[in-house]
Amino acid sequence: MLTIKIALLLILAYLLGSFPTGVIVGKVFFHKDIRKLGSGNPGSTNTFRTFGPVAGMSVLLVDVLKGTLATLLPVIFHLGPHPLGIIFGMLAILGHTFSIFLGFKGGKAVATTAGFILGYNLAFFCVCAGIFFPMLFITSIMSLTAMLCITLFFIFSFLFHDPYLSAMMFVLLILIFIRHKANIVRLKNGTENIIPFGIYYWLKNK
């Protein structure tokens, strides 16, 4: 019975991650498919650029909460040791990245990764947030910030003496770099999209 319960909750974690927030917001409120606009990515960054800050922040919030809720499923349903959250969080991230509702395509794992970290270790989340937001403000480039930060998050994870967390951050480091292959090419060519605030944006438009 416990095995069936865990299996069903693992499926639920994946489905939570798969929830296509950006596509739904675009179609319901703007009658447009976000996948056919901007970069074509259904995540919060493209939503922000295409539909504005309210839509972008809404998608970001939901995508973060997907990861948090999925990671906390073992705690909510009293399944056992806290490290189980690693597995549930990973399934949510994979769901977000390879959504069953979008033909196994999806976002780039950044927001749902933040949600996983929030659900798994609040102190580590605060450290990550303290790195992420200043980095984004300096670079004005979400993709560059994501790749720099996941590298730093992996390094800083060792300070928490949690091998499960460090292993997870290493897997996410690889996943996020793979998901940003096209962004890396654009960064090399100087054609990567920037967000309309931050030091680099202001200097470029000065």
Residue linked to tokens 């489905």 = 15
The Cα–Cα gap between 94 and 200 comes to 32
Task: State residue 167's pLDDT score.
Answer: 96
Q: Are 43 and 107 in contact (CB under 8 A)?
A: yes
**Residues of the chain whose pLDDT is less than 50?**
none
Q: Is the pTM of this model over 0.75?
A: yes
| C-alpha 120, offset from chain centre | 14
Q: Write a three-state SS string for the chain.
A: CHHHHHHHHHHHHHHHHHCCHHHHHHHHHCCCCHHHCCCCCCCHHHHHHHHCHHHHHHHHHHHHHHHHHHHHHHHHCCCCCCCHHHHHHHHHHHHHHCEHHHCCECCCCHHHHHHHHHHHCHHHHHHHHHHHHHHHHHHCCHHHHHHHHHHHHHHHHHHHCCHHHHHHHHHHHHHHHHHCHHHHHHHHHCCCCCCCCCHHHHHHCC
Q: Among residues 124, 179, 177, 128, which one has the least CA distance to residue 149?
A: 128
The Cα–Cα gap between 136 and 200 comes to 10
Task: State residue 1's pLDDT score.
Answer: 72
Task: State residue 81's pLDDT score.
Answer: 65
